[in-house]
Structure formats: C-alpha cells, structure tokens
Structure 1
Amino acid sequence: MNRTIARNFEIFFCRISLSDSQQREALERAEAICRFLNLETTLDCFVSGSLSRSTAVRQFSDVDLVATLTDAMSPKIQPTSVISSLLSIIQTRYPLAQVSENTVRITFADGPDVDVLPAIRLGNRTPDNESYAIPTFNLNGWQKFSPMELTEHVRSIDTRSGGNFTRLIKLIKWWSNLHGKPLPSFKIEEIACLAFAREMPQMGHAVAAFFDAAIQQYGAAADAPPEVLRARITAATAVDLEGRGDLEGSIKHWGCLLGDQYPTIIV
C-alpha cells in the first residue's frame, strides 16, 4: 500500500476508535445495568458485541448486553413474549426503554445507548463454549448464538493479522452506519470471519474483498443491498487508482466511502 494511503487509514482509525475513557464509561454503564438485572429474573448478564471484541467505533456503537433468562423459559416460548417481559423489567428502572429489533434499547442523553439482548441458555454451561437461543431480528423465531466462540475467532484472526482485522471491522461498521446500516454489526463480524479465516490482504484490498464476500452471502448480486454493491465498486476503484499512481483519485473515493473522518491530505 502506498505510504500516503496507509497513513490516511491510520489517521482514520484513530479518529473512529473509542478512547480509553469512553470505553471505561461504557463499561461502567453496562455494569450498573447488569447489577440491576441480576437482582431481577435473569440468571446472568454480561457485556457482548463490539465492546467485548474491541470493534466498537465512536458515535455509532452501542453497548451490547446479553441477559440470560430464567431456566423455566425455553425456545418454545414466543420471542415477542420474552422481549415484552424483559422490557417490563427494564422499564421499572429505565422508563424510556424501548424494543429495538430483537433487543431492549436503553437510551441515554449523553450516550452511548445500551442494547439488552434476551437469551435462553442451551445445554450445559462450559467456560469456553456457551450457546444460547436469541430472538431473530424480526422476532418471528429463535437463532443460535455463541458469543464466546465468535469473540475467540475474532481475537485469533486479529492476532494473526497484527491488529488489522479489528480495524477492518471498525471501518465496515463505520461505513454501514454512514450509509443507512445495510449490514448489522453482528453480520459484519460474521462475514469478515469467513472471508479472512486464512489470510488477510492489505487494508484497501481487504475492504474490497469484504464487499465481495458480503455480496456472495446473498447468492446473487441482484439480491444484495444496493449500498453494498456501490461500496464494492467504490473500494475497487480506490484500489485501482492507487495502483495506477492516482493518489488524489484514490483518496477521493475512500472519502466517498468513509465520510469526512477519512483525511483528504496527500503527504
């Protein structure tokens, strides 16, 4: 990768990453909510999602909590009933909480918001492999969720890539939020893990390869979100322009993809 483009990516990642103080604030808020939930009907409550996997980004990331519910519940119960029960519990302490897709969202004026995901434990609990049933996004059924497995997978690939894997995920999450969130955060991590299970190219090529992999998830390009199709073209063009020595053109395309947090300077 050209030195200028590489430097611009480094500046971009610094701009979108959470500071230490922001991470501490988010964790303290999460811990307070967990303490409240643990006094109610949940068996356990823990931080999951981007904060636990170091893929959170400024401005857009919420804190994700998993609330495992009483053993008396089972996946035979309708997700709408489970989410409604969890909402009722949370509203006794946080009255402005609302259902948001398959979570209960607690909104704060000073951010970040907190999403609480209800989960039912599946089978016996082991230290390194916990599986849960969680509601699907449209609340019409249940899906399997193994947070520890995903976290370890992300960490393994990130170690092998020298930290570039979590940077890539942050980049895609930032792009997704800028462009109407065509890919949810968990889907971004899932696609990235599949695409780079063996190796990961340099950042620009990795971004283009991610969008290729995302399109393949839909089976046919026509079925993929139009935002993903446009992003694939923009990233591929940026990489091509860099290869031809047109740094100004390459930077312009990366800026179109990533917004004003991507620097436009040429050094």
Structure 2
Amino acid sequence: MLTVAQAFEQFMHNLELQAGEDREAKRQERNVFEAMRRHLRPRESILSGSYGRNTAIRPLHDIDLFLIFTAAASGTGEAVGPEAFLKRVKQALEQEFPGKQAKLQNRSVNIEFSGTGIGFDVVPALEDPRRPGIYWIPDVRKGDWIQSDPRKHIEACDAANARATQRLKPLIKALKRWNQLQGKPVPSFLMEVMAYKGIDSFQPDGRLSVYAQGMAHLFQFMSGRIMEQWPEPAGLGPPVNSGVGQTNLLQGQQRLSGATRRAAQALELERVGDMAGANALWRELLGTDYPER
C-alpha cells in the first residue's frame, strides 16, 4: 500500500507535461511568432503565463504568448486603441492560418490548433519607450492600456518556489488540478499569487507528508484571504482579482473552505496510520491522477 507521501510523489509526476507536449508547444510557438513577424513585426516573444512560469499541468491547453512591439511596429505608428490593436492581431492570425477562427478576448487573441488541442493566447505588448522592460498591454473592458511585465511574474514565482525549497510549483500544479475539477471557481493566476504569500507561513511536521500538509495549509490560507485585494506581482497592473465578481469570490471561498475541511480529515487519518483512508480522501479532492492504491 502506498503511503500518502508516495502517492503525492506519483500524483505530482502525473501532472507534469510530457516531453512530446513540450516539444510541440515550442514548435507551434515558433510558428505563431514567425507568422506575426510577417504581418505586424513584433520584436520578440516571451512564453508567459503558467507555461512560462512552469506551473502548467497536463493536458496542455492554452499558452500565453507575449509579443513585444515597438510603437512604430503597431501598424502605422499612430496611437492605437486596445481593441483595434487586438483586432489587427486577430486578422493577422486568421490570414496566416486559413480555416482557423481566432477569438478576441479581453487582453489577448486566442487561436487553437487541431490535432494537439494546444491553443495560444496571443498578448500584444508595446514597450514603454522611457522605461525598458515595462510593457503596455490592451484591456478591452477598461478601454485602455495597462502595464505589465511577465518576466517579473516569472521572477516572483521562482523566488517563492526557492523559499519553499522547490516544493511550491508542484503544490500550485496540484491546486490547479483541484480547481479544474471544481469548475475553476478561483481564477488560476489569483490562486498562484496567493500561494506565493501563503507558502511563507508553512511549517511542516516531519511525521506527515510535506505535500499533503502543504495542500492543507494553502487551502486554509486561501479560504481566509481570497476576499482581500491581491497586488499584481510586478507592481504595475491592477490587482490580480480586479474584475472578479464578488459572487465568484464567495463561491471560491466556499469551495476552498470545503477543501480545507477534507484536507484536515486526510491529515488526521494519515497521523493515525490509516493510509488507505487518507489517500481515498485526497483522491476525492484531486481526481483520478491521484493514485488509487
């Protein structure tokens, strides 16, 4: 019979991207970048989002592709509104990939490739001419451009993972699987940002699985703090939970509270040596990627 620690190790492995998925994602990223260069001349690209931070889980779906433009390459050089810029990106993608219908989103344009099921959220960004490394990205709902820096997001995630002795990223992936099974009541990036802070107060008991305790701790931390304002990690854009409705946050809090209770029960079963009972509870929370026995 697997101990809880052994089951979690196997579960974490099951969430990792396979080598073929990773190769295909990078191949398609190069294709999209080259296609955009032929039309709108982006200067460079950054694989951002969960894929760029190495917190994506399998099966891989949408990858954030951050395309950096100079102001002169934004089309004709004139001031361009956020929605108009996104429409240019959409048109360029559809011209380069005939038969594909790109979808306009709030800050990006999504295009999906058949066969692999991998899609890209293409985020166009204009570099601030006075502050290199600071970028302006479109926000259709606001009708304006907002600041961002995905490299700072990667740095914040890596720093928190280092503080947690490289255990945070696997825990974030496990939280994402739980969130996915719940119908994604908590926005994915909000969950990550809360985890960066929550892991700092984690003090594991050496007698129990560290990953199990980490999950229980983060469930409890998030359920108690989800209603707060969570600053964007680069300190540039609006709060991460900006635009998330109160109803959605309350639903997320309710689901996290329920997970906190179940995780506490699982820890107690592990504490008294009932590995089968503890693993059964974790499998209920984390789905069939968590080993049955």
Equivalent residue number for residue 192 of structure 2? 189
Counterpart in the other structure of 1:114: 120
d(CA) in 2 for partners of 1:31, 1:139: 31
- Which shows bigger deviation, 172-181 or 85-94? 172-181
Query: Judging changes above 3 Å, is the alpha-carbon distance between structure 1 residues 250 and 234 closer, same or farther for their aligned structure 2 residues?
Result: farther
1:96 maps to 2:107:
no
Q: Whole-Å Cα distance in 2 between the matches of residues 18 and 168 of structure 1?
A: 15
CA contact (8 A) 2:186 2:248 kept: no
1:160 maps onto 2:163 in alignment = yes
The alpha-carbon distance between structure 1 residues 182 and 136, as it changes in their structure 2 partners (threshold 3 A), is farther
Moved more, 64-73 or 168-177: 64-73
Which structure 2 residues correspond to residues 59-74 of structure 1 after superposition, within 5 A?
59-72=59-72
2:7 paired with 1:4: no
Partner of 1:38: 37
1:261 aligns with 2:289: yes
Q: Distance in 1 between matches of 2:58 and 2:248?
A: 30
- Residues 219 and 259, structure 2, Cα contact 8 Å, conserved in 1: no
Secondary structure (helix, strand or coil) at the match of 2:171 reads helix
Aligned to 2:280: 252
CA distance in 2, matches of 1:57, 1:188: 14
> Is the radius of gyration larger for structure 1 or structure 2?
2
Cα distance in 1 for residues equivalent to 2:180 and 2:112: 18
Aligned equivalent of 1:218: 227
Give the Cα–Cα distance (whole angstroms) in 2 for the partners of residues 30 and 239 of structure 1.
42
In the TM superposition, what is the alpha-carbon distance from 1:8 to its structure 2 partner?
1.0
Asked whether the 8 Å contact 1:102–1:139 carries over to 2, the reply is no
The one-letter amino acid paired with 2:147 is K
- Which blocks of at least 5 consecutive residues in structure 2 are unaligned? 205-209, 230-245
Question: How many angstroms apart in 2 are the aligned matches of 1:166 and 1:38?
Answer: 33
The answer to whether the Cα contact below 8 Å between 1:34 and 1:46 also exists between their aligned partners in 2 is no
SS of alignment partner, residue 147 of structure 2: strand
Counterpart amino acid of residue 284 in structure 2: C
Matches within 5 A, 1:48-63: 48-63=48-63
Task: Assess if the C-alpha contact under 8 Å between 2:212 and 2:267 holds in 1.
Answer: no
The CA distance in 1 between the partners of 2:203 and 2:33, in whole Å, is: 36
- Bigger mean CA offset, 178-187 vs 22-31: 178-187
Q: Say which of 211, 226, 233 aligns to 1:203.
A: 211
With normalisation by structure 1, the TM-score equals 0.83
Q: How far off is 1:35 after superposition?
A: 1.6
Q: Which 5+ residue runs of structure 1 have no aligned equivalent?
A: none
Q: In structure 2, what is the Cα distance between the partners aligned to 1:69 and 1:106?
A: 19
**8 Å Cα contact 1:16-1:261 kept in structure 2:** yes
When the two chains are superposed, the root-mean-square deviation of aligned CA atoms in Å is: 2.9
Aligned-residue offset at 1:173:
1.8
Measure how far apart 1:54 and its partner are.
1.5
Superposed, 1:116-195 pairs within 5 Å as 116-124=122-130, 126=132, 130-136=133-139, 138=141, 140-195=143-198
User: What count of residue pairs does the alignment treat as equivalent?
Assistant: 259
Contact preservation (8 Å) 1:211, 1:228:
no
